[in-house]
Amino acid sequence: MRKIVRNLFSFKEAKLPARKGSQKSKAQSLVEFAITLPIILILLTGVVEFGFALNYYLSLLDATREAARFGSGLDPFTAGYNSATNNQFYSVISSLVASNLDPRLRPGFTTYEGRRIQLDPASDDVIITVYGVQSGIATQFPPSGPFRLYGNQTSMFNTTNIQSQFQSGSPNAGVLVVEVHYTYHHVLRLPWLSPLNPMTLRAYTIMPLGAAEP
């Protein structure tokens, strides 16, 4: 009797037969990974390349900001408002933009070993425009059009854009606009990003300019 009871309450772990579907599931996972891997790599490299481009853009923005800040204390006219253009004003600011991007252009920096962003005279440009705003109406200087260092690009601004920045009844003001247009070539140079290579990066700074106030 005890033997019968012992046999009734004794359990042995049953060994389940190996499922044939487990190997199939592993193979399916490998196929799915092989399909998604190129997409993941494209997205990852795109993010890395975008990071490089953003870093270049911030350098361009810093260059325009420093040049505009320096230029805001200068006089773009030779003898007062509406007079002949002071060419030195534009050449000094454009040179400052270029030297901020490429420190080797500065006196005494011939042995500089850091990163240099060199403007290409065949495609890049530095554009400088002065506006005088009187009674809500903007006047552009030079009268013949914005100063362009290389003549490759067009300004992102005009009198209409500037006038829209001033509310009705705003006091007279002078405005200095410094732009840089740079042709960015990809750092990674990956073939799947070639449709976006090169691309033009544009940065600008708008600064008050007391000498241009009517």
Residue 170 pLDDT greater than 90, yes or no: no
| Contact between residue 198 and residue 53 where contact means Cβ atoms under 8 Å apart | no
Residue 37 pLDDT greater than 90, yes or no: no
Centre a 10 Å sphere on the Cβ of residue 178 and count the other Cβ atoms it contains. Answer: 28
Report the pLDDT value the prediction gives residue 111, as an integer from 0 to 100. Answer: 82
Weakest-pLDDT range from 37-46, 53-62, 93-102: 37-46
Pairing assessment for the beta strands 137-141 and 147-148 based on DSSP bridges: unpaired
> What are residue 94's phi and psi, to 5 degrees?
-65, -40
Query: Tell me, what amino acid is at 123?
Result: S
Q: Which residue reads 């708008």 in tokens? A: 206
Q: Which tokens go with 118?
A: 């060199």
Burial class (CB in 10 A: 0-12, 13-18, 19+), 153: buried
Residue 182 pLDDT greater than 90, yes or no: yes
pLDDT category at 4 given cuts 50, 70, 90 is low
| Contact between residue 182 and residue 56 where contact means Cβ atoms under 8 Å apart | yes
Q: Which tokens go with 44?
A: 């990852």
3-class secondary structure, 90: helix
DSSP string, 51-88: HHHHHHHHHHHHHHHHHHHHHTTS-SBSSSTTS-B-HH
Which carries the bigger pLDDT value, residue 79 or residue 175? 175
Q: What's the pTM?
A: 0.81
Q: Which tokens go with 120?
A: 């290409």
> What are residue 146's phi and psi, to 5 degrees?
-60, 150
Which carries the bigger pLDDT value, residue 30 or residue 94? 94
Q: Where are the domains of the chain?
A: 29-212
Residue 26 pLDDT greater than 80, yes or no: no
pLDDT digits (tens, 9 = 90+) for 78-127: 876 667 778 899 999 999 999 999 999 988 887 887 889 999 999 999 99
Report the pLDDT value the prediction gives residue 48, as an integer from 0 to 100. Answer: 92
Helix axes 21-71, 87-101, angle to 10 degrees: 150
Dihedral, CA of residue 48, residue 200, residue 206 and residue 114, to nearest 10: 60
Of 110, 103, 137, 152, give the one whose Cα is nearest residue 214: 137
Residue 15 pLDDT greater than 60, yes or no: no
